Amino acid sequence: MGKEVYFDNHATTPVDPRVVEAMLPYFTEKFGNAASKSHRFGWEAERAVETARRQVAALIGAEAREIVFTSGATESNNLALKGVAERYAGQGDHLITALTEHKAVLDPCRALERRGYRVTYLPVDREGLLDPDDVRKAITPRTILISVMYANNEIGVVQPIAEIGRIAREHGVLFHTDATQAVGKIPVDVNRDAVDLLSLSAHKMYGPKGVGALYVRHRDRQVELAAQMDGGGHERGVRSGTLNVPGIVGLGEACAICQQEMPQEAERLRRLRDRLKTLLESGLEEVYVNGSMERRLPNNLNMSFLYVEADALLVALKDIALSTGSACTSAIPEPSHVLRALHLPEGRAQSAVRFGLGRFNTEEEVDYVAARVIEAVTKLRELSPLYELARGGSPNASGPS
- Per the annotation, the verdict on 109 as an active-site residue is no
Three-state secondary structure readout of 323-339 = ECCCCCCCCCCCCCHHH
| CA atoms within 13 A of residue 136's CA, in its CB half-sphere | 8
**Rounded distance between C-alpha atoms, residue 68 and residue 50, angstroms:** 11
Write out the H or E segment, with its range, that includes residue 161: helix 161-170
Distance from C-alpha of 345 to C-alpha of 340, rounded to nearest angstrom: 9
Exposure on the CB side of residue 62, measured as CA atoms within 13 A: 30
Residue in 109, 255, 258, 328 annotated catalytic: 328
Q: Are 78 and 278 in contact (CB under 8 A)?
A: no
Cα–Cα separations (whole angstroms), residue 135 to 15, 168, 184, 321, 339: 37, 9, 26, 37, 21
Q: How many residues are there in the chain?
A: 401
Q: Which sequence positions are flagged as catalytic?
A: 328
